[in-house]
Structure 1
Amino acid sequence: MKRFLLCLPLAVLVITGCSKKKVDDVPEPPRPVRIAPVTRADIDSQLIYGAELQPSVEVKLFSTVMDRILSLPFQEGDYIEKGEVVALIRREAMDRGLDQLGAQLLALDAQIANLESELARAKDLFTKGVATQQALDQVQTSYDATVAQRKALVAGRGQLAATAANAVVKAPISGVFANRMFEEGDIASPQAPLGRILVIDTLKVTLKLIESHVAKVHMGQEVTIDLDAYPGRTFSGHVTRILPYLDPETRTNAVEVSIKNPKDESGQYLLKPGMYGRAKLITERRENVIVAPGEALLLDTRITGEAGQELRKAVVVKPDNTADIRVVKLGARDGNQWEILEGLAEGESLVVRGHHGIKQGQNVVIDTQEDRL
């Protein structure tokens, strides 16, 4: 009995080992995958940046007169011609001040005329020896002081007149009125804008190029804009300004792109400031190169850790329907297409779906059913 109990664990181990060996020997079922052929194509190397449309010119309208707004005839979206009156500010107090200064000037003119007569008489009497030098000097001093007072009054009246003229706010440029901040009856403030005038027949986009892209962009370079508001439609622009310095904080270079704003059949501008999309700058055209779709190229930290983002993992189906895992080197990118510099050959069958977790040499089966992967 004791000998039987001693042999029992050994028998269990033998049976367990045999069972494990049988499980390991069971081959994995073929992995269903979808493939696409490796092809050649022309590819444009692009820089892609987020793009927000902005008016080409934006002017804020201020009133330098702090008083009640009598008229503000334009609503948001209205078109304003240069020189049109945008707002009228109350100016009665300034007009009364101008009238008072005008009356003071008339009084001073009469006083100056009288002093001129006195000065002429004093000079005549001094010449005849009747008046003293002191008497002549007193008249001369009074005359000079009154003339100086008049000059100061004229200057003050001119300044007040200029301020009063600012009660009429005119458009400095032609454009669309936006961001109306006040209503008629409000008190205008020199610190708060009445609104803005936007020039939108031409729009602009400001791109913040990273340092490694600066040398690839030049004045006049064509830029295509894809907007979320118009899927499938592309708008064209050109680089019109490149700042001659980098932002010291972000290490980016600001580049302005100008875009003509087309109109629809009703005459309305299609593009609106604030629309968002993507700006694409073609930096190089590569002809007849091997290309692969982005969904076939897998990130793998084991191969990208040393070479950065230039390497990807791809899976090729060999003629015997087994998986061959490759490391491929990438070149230019055009949308979803990547140039393949190394690792793939034209005509090879590239797995584009079902390749996650696949092993080297694993059997695969080509699946054409969309809903099965």
Structure 2
Amino acid sequence: MRTIQLLAVLFLLASCKGKWEKTQPSVGKITESVYASGIIKARHQYQVFSRVNGLIVNIPVTEGDTVRKGDPIVIIRNETAKLNTENAAIAADYNSVKANADKLNELRVNIDLARIKLNNDSLTQTRQRRLWEQRIGSQQQLEQAELAYKNSLTAYDVAVFKYNDLQKQLNFAAKQSGKNLEISHTQNDDYTVRSDIDGKVYSIVPKNGEMVTTQSPIAVIGDAGNYYLELQADEYDIARIRLGQKVYVTLDSYRGQVFEAVVEKIYPMMNEKSRSFTVDAHFTAAPPVVYPNLTLEANIEIQTKEHALTIPRSYLLAEDEVMLENKERKKVVTGVKDYQQVEIVSGLTASDVIIKPAP
């Protein structure tokens, strides 16, 4: 009985021994890359918002239209704003310096009259003083002449002050009314939502007759035919990503095809929720037709070696050991890694035979 059990154990060991997978290191090309997911976006793509709340009365564009900077996208009802603009225009016209020229002319005439009287009283005072020096006339006459001159001087100064003060008031009122008119025009213009760029209308959210608010996007506009990739890379990989690195892109819209791109921008702020960084890239070999918000998967090439000694990653033990054919564990130094292969920098030769550890 014991002999039978011993033979069964030996048979099982022999069977297990025969299941060890073997391989030898091979020399070939290996590329290390990091994974990123993302979407395609139109260059300068942005969401259009209204500065005012209101009811849409006209949408002069449709999705897919090409627009120029300043073209109207959505027009919102603005009767109140128009009335405010008209009132501001009336006030600006009423308060203009030109409209109040008669008031200034009246005060200018008062200045001229005061100047004439001042000159006359000045001459009278001088004449009366000379007469008094010759003992002609009375001191009372001299004092009356001096008092009249002082009163005329005061009246002249008051006339000049009133003129200058009115001119300042009119200039201030005219400027203030003009600014109010500009503000009213600006507020009136806010009821026409315009494109900020030359581009293409990719999406329009509301319809005619619907209400819009300042919190909800109205449309999406971006460059026509100029697209880029917005990628999300894990914080674990971001330190290895550099500008100019190649990116290999796959899209569900083009299954089985790979397109090339290049990293053009790395955003330094991490998204705390997703623990990822945004990386922008542009196509060097683009698909024939793309649309904004198409999802994609990408591999960013970190480094490539043409003649590397590699083994399958599944043959590694604890990331720095392999098992030789004689079951001996041996330390190795690894280098470039991809999803299937790993470079062996030292510790093995192409003639060594290694076995795959049992699961």
Give the superposition deviation at 1:127: 0.6
- Mapped to 2, the partners of 1:349 and 1:276 lie a distance apart of 40
Supply the distance in 1 between the matched residues of 2:216 and 2:271 (Cα, whole angstroms).
31
Q: Label 1:60 to 1:341 Cα distance change in 2 as closer, same or farther (>3 A).
A: same
Q: Aligned in 2, Cα 1:293/1:331: closer, same or farther, shift over 3 Å?
A: same
State the Cα distance separating 1:272 from its structure 2 match. 4.5
> Aligned partners of 1:190, 1:261: CA distance in 2, in Å?
39
1:203 aligns with 2:228: yes
Q: C-alpha separation between the residues in 2 aligned to 1:315 and 1:278?
A: 36
Partner in structure 1 of residue 243 of structure 2: 219
Residue type of the alignment partner of 1:187: M
* 2:52 equivalent to 1:65: yes
The residue aligned with 1:118 is 106
| Helix, strand or coil at the partner of 1:194 | strand
1:247-326 matches, cutoff 5 A:
247=270, 255-260=279-284, 262-264=286-288, 268-269=289-290, 272-287=292-307, 289-294=308-313, 296-297=314-315, 304=318, 310-311=319-320, 316=325, 324=327, 326=329
How many residues are treated as equivalent by the alignment?
314
The match for 1:368 is none
Bigger proportion of residues as helix: 2
Equivalent residue letter for 1:181: V
CA distance, structure 1, for counterparts of residue 26 and residue 74 of structure 2: 64
Structure 1 residues 75 and 351 mapped into 2: Cα distance closer, same or farther (>3 Å)? farther
What's the CA shift string for 1:40-98, capped at 9, x where partnerless? 23223312122212414322212223332222244455554444321122233222222
C-alpha change, 1:171 and 1:239, in structure 2 (3 Å) is same
- Tell me by how many angstroms 1:346 deviates: 3.6
Q: What is the CA distance between 1:121 and its match in structure 2?
A: 0.8
> Residues 310-363 of structure 1, C-alpha deviation per residue, up to 9 Å, x if partnerless?
2355575xxxxxx847556343223422223466654667667xx635xxxxxx
Equivalent-residue separation in structure 1 for 2:292 and 2:236 (angstroms) = 30
In the superposition, relative to structure 1, how do residues 337 and 113 fare at CA in structure 2: closer, same or farther (>3 Å)?
same
Contact 2:241-2:300 within 8 A present in 1 as well: no
Q: Among all aligned residue pairs of Structure 1 and Structure 2, give the percentage whose two residues are the same amino acid.
A: 17
**Which residue of 321, 331, 338 maps to 1:334?**
338
Q: Which moved more, 1:109-118 or 1:31-40?
A: 31-40
Distance 1:48 1:112, change over 3 A: same
| Deviation digits for residues 193-225 of structure 1 (CA, Å, limit 9, x no counterpart) | 2122234622123353657763x5443222222
d(CA) in 2 for partners of 1:136 and 1:175?
60
Equivalent residue number for residue 174 of structure 2: 150
Q: For 1:125, give the aligned amino acid.
A: L
Question: Which deviates the most, 200-209 or 56-65?
Answer: 200-209
Partner of 2:73: 86
Aligned to 2:11: 28
Aligned to 2:115: 127
CA offset at residue 153 of structure 1?
Answer: 0.6
Q: Give the greater-gyration-radius structure (CA).
A: 2
Unaligned runs of 5+ in 2: 119-151
Q: What is the root-mean-square deviation in Å for CA atoms of aligned residues?
A: 3.7
Distance change (3 Å), C-alpha of 1:105 and 1:62: same
CA contact (8 A) 2:249 2:296 kept: no
Partner residue of 2:39? 53
Specify which of 193, 196, 218 is matched with residue 169 of structure 1: 193
Give the letter for the 2:93 counterpart. Answer: L
Q: Which moved more, 1:245-254 or 1:82-91?
A: 245-254
Task: Go from structure 1 to structure 2 and tell me whether the alpha carbon gap of 1:103 and 1:248 turns closer, same or farther (over 3 Å shift).
Answer: closer
Moved more, 69-78 or 158-167: 69-78
One-letter amino acid matched to 2:73: V
Q: Report what 2:358 is aligned to.
A: 356
CA distance, structure 2, for counterparts of residue 261 and residue 272 of structure 1: 17
> Alignment partner of 1:185: what SS?
coil
Which structure would you say has the larger RCO, counting Cα contacts within 8 Å and 6 or more residues apart? Answer: 2
Whether the 8 Å CA contact 1:48–1:281 is kept in 2: the answer is yes
Deviation digits for residues 231-278 of structure 1, max 9, x if unmatched?
4321111121245x57597997654322257353xxx32x65241313
The equivalent of 2:144 in structure 1 is none
1:16 counterpart residue number: none
Aligned counterparts of 1:99 and 1:259: Cα–Cα separation in 2 = 52
Call closer, same or farther: CA 1:148–1:260 in 2, change over 3 Å.
same
Aligned-partner Cα distance in 1 for 2:275–2:216 = 34
Indicate if the aligned counterparts of 2:37 and 2:233 stay in contact, CA closer than 8 A. Answer: no
TM-score, length basis structure 1: 0.69
> Normalising to structure 2: TM-score of the pair?
0.71
Q: Please say if residues 126 and 136 of structure 1, whose CA atoms lie closer than 8 Å, have aligned partners that are also in contact.
A: no
